Amino acid sequence: MGAGPAGSTTALLLARAGASVLLLDRARFPRDKPCSEYLSPATTDVLERLGGGILAAVERTTHARLYGMKVVAPGGAAMVGRFRGASRPYSFAIPRTSFDAILVAAAARAGARVSEGTTVEDLVWDRGAVAGVVARSRNGQRATCRARIVIGADGLRSVVARRLGLVRTSPPRRFAFTAHVADVGGVDELGELHVSDRGYVGLGPVGAGITTVALVLPLSVVRGSGRDYRSEFVAELNRFPGLAGRFDARRLVREVLTTGPFAQWARVAALPGALLVGDAADFFDPFTGQGIHAALRGAELVAECLIPGLAPGVSRAYASARRREFAGKWLLERLIGLGVGSPALTDRVVGRLARRPDLADLLVSATGNVLPARRVFTPSALARLLW
Ligand SMILES: Cc1cc2nc3c(=O)[nH]c(=O)nc-3n(C[C@H](O)[C@H](O)[C@H](O)COP(=O)(O)OP(=O)(O)OC[C@H]3O[C@@H](n4cnc5c(N)ncnc54)[C@H](O)[C@@H]3O)c2cc1C
């Protein structure tokens, strides 16, 4: 269920291994998705492993290359961290309309049957296990699709996770607005994150003179202000000191997309007959830009656990494989997500990182998944970050 990065990649790997795969999505591709559209550098390695011409297709399509991240704190301190330890010193940034369509096409080429415009509404149960889904096509017809295994890759608002009763929410509770803006001043080969006492903005080039801009605000601010942040998008950006004057409201080249609230995660990512992958399994905060990598790595773990024969022990194997792979990412993503909610803490940490470029590189490379997150949690790294 869901043909975003998690669903398409899972479908591709399972179809390649000989499984009969039906990939359902309510959208028609190419479709857009609220995102900052940066593929962390470790994502390039996964795309290379997937083969099938996917990385070449990404390189052929309009994209930008990012060599690191710049973070600007509420008080004005700025740090730059560059990607170290990656097979390439850069990451790709590419519109989701192109990236997701490349993955769906690759899944179809691998043999998955792709049904677009098909919305999953419910699960089918058989003797206590999930045994299929009820789906509605665009012309309103409902059909029951039975399957040995249902994989919920249907994103942040996953119907599969909700029907399984697994959804949990946790702070930080935030909401996002994203847009494409042409000719933004001062954009170069770095992604940028600007934090204020109200929220933060992530921005970076995606090629052809277009910059993706994501405004992320606390849910309380969005609900309490009574303002329409879609129509006041550029005015809100101008309230961030490092951004004022860089945007021209007439150069918005795509409607402002919204998503939230997050964070949301599933209590467990596997139950008899069903697995969750990608945002359907967990999505904490977009600050570190790890979601697409987690979606693709999660798909690889699904394939590793399922392909040996849809064995009964798969739930436990998948759950522990996810824990091994993602425990550090979960902690880092949540701590940073919570930390940027405190302007004083952000000022302090960014100020230290500005004076210690090696530490800034470590943090940016860990969030880019090219260095293990545990390297940030050593007593010496933590002490240098905070004192
Ligand atoms: C503001 C913001 C900025 C972000 N920036 C970055 C970034 O720069 N880098 C990064 O790596 N990550 C980023 N992320 C996270 C990233 O967008 C997600 O982690 C990623 O899209 C997860 O992929 P997915 O396949 O799990 O879900 P999705 O990409 O959301 O795909 C889910 C699919 O399921 C389909 N679907 C949903 N419900 C149903 C249904 N009932 N029936 C059928 N189909 C259904 C949808 O149409 C969709 O195609 C950002 C997220 C946000 C909110």
Which residues have CB under 6 Å of ligand 1? Answer: 1-7, 24-27, 33-38, 40, 119-120, 153-155, 159, 176, 178, 214, 216, 259, 278-280, 283, 286, 289-293, 295
CA of 32 to the centre of ligand 1 (A): 10
Task: Give the Cα-Cα-Cα angle 185, 189, 192 (nearest 5 degrees).
Answer: 65
Half-sphere exposure of 163 (CA within 13 A, CB side): 22
- Which atom of ligand 1 lies at the shortest distance from residue 204's CA? 8
Average pLDDT along the chain: 94
Q: Which of 150, 29, 83 is nearest to 293 (CA)?
A: 83
Convert the pLDDT of each residue in 251-267 to its tens digit.
Answer: 999 999 999 999 999 99
Whose C-alpha lies nearest to ligand 1, atom 4? Answer: 35
CA of 156 to the centre of ligand 1 (A): 7
Convert the pLDDT of each residue in 110-142 to its tens digit.
Answer: 999 999 999 999 999 999 999 999 999 999 999
| Residue 387 pLDDT grade (very low, low, confident, very high; cuts 50, 70, 90) | confident
- Which atom of ligand 1 lies at the shortest distance from residue 260's CA? 53
- Whether the per-residue pLDDT at 156 is higher than 80: the answer is yes
Whose C-alpha lies nearest to ligand 1, atom 50? Answer: 35
Q: Omega into 263 within 30° of 0, i.e. cis?
A: yes
CB 1 within 8 A of CB 154: yes
Q: Identify which of 287, 292, 301 to mutate to test ligand 1's pocket (most ligand atoms within 8 A of the CB).
A: 292
**E strand or H helix that includes residue 164:** none
Q: Identify which of 8, 26, 83, 262 to mutate to test ligand 1's pocket (most ligand atoms within 8 A of the CB).
A: 26
CB 253 within 8 A of CB 182: yes
CA of 358 to the centre of ligand 1 (A): 32
Q: Which of 130, 222, 131 is nearest to 172 (CA)?
A: 222
- Whether the per-residue pLDDT at 311 is higher than 60: the answer is no
Ramachandran angles phi, psi of 210, nearest 5°: -100, 140
| Residue 312 pLDDT grade (very low, low, confident, very high; cuts 50, 70, 90) | low
CB 134 within 8 A of CB 143: yes
- Which atom of ligand 1 lies at the shortest distance from residue 280's CA? 26
Q: Identify which of 25, 100, 190, 277 to mutate to test ligand 1's pocket (most ligand atoms within 8 A of the CB).
A: 25
The amino acid that residue 295 corresponds to is: A
Whose C-alpha lies nearest to ligand 1, atom 39? Answer: 154
pTM listed for this prediction: 0.96
- Which atom of ligand 1 lies at the shortest distance from residue 281's CA? 26
- Which atom of ligand 1 lies at the shortest distance from residue 278's CA? 26
Q: Identify which of 154, 177, 203, 275 to mutate to test ligand 1's pocket (most ligand atoms within 8 A of the CB).
A: 154
Give pLDDT, residue 40: 95
| Residue 167 pLDDT grade (very low, low, confident, very high; cuts 50, 70, 90) | very high
Give pLDDT, residue 309: 59
CA of 36 to the centre of ligand 1 (A): 11
| Residue 53 pLDDT grade (very low, low, confident, very high; cuts 50, 70, 90) | very high
CB 149 within 8 A of CB 274: yes
- Which atom of ligand 1 lies at the shortest distance from residue 279's CA? 26
CA of 304 to the centre of ligand 1 (A): 22
Buried b (16+ CB within 10 A) or exposed e, 211-229: bbbbbbbbeeebeeeeeeb
CA of 245 to the centre of ligand 1 (A): 31
Convert the pLDDT of each residue in 330-366 to its tens digit.
Answer: 999 999 999 999 999 999 999 999 999 999 999 999 9
| Residue 310 pLDDT grade (very low, low, confident, very high; cuts 50, 70, 90) | low
CB 91 within 8 A of CB 38: yes
Q: Which of 280, 281, 275 is nearest to 318 (CA)?
A: 275
CA of 33 to the centre of ligand 1 (A): 6
| Residue 198 pLDDT grade (very low, low, confident, very high; cuts 50, 70, 90) | confident
Q: Which of 196, 195, 194, 198 is nearest to 186 (CA)?
A: 194
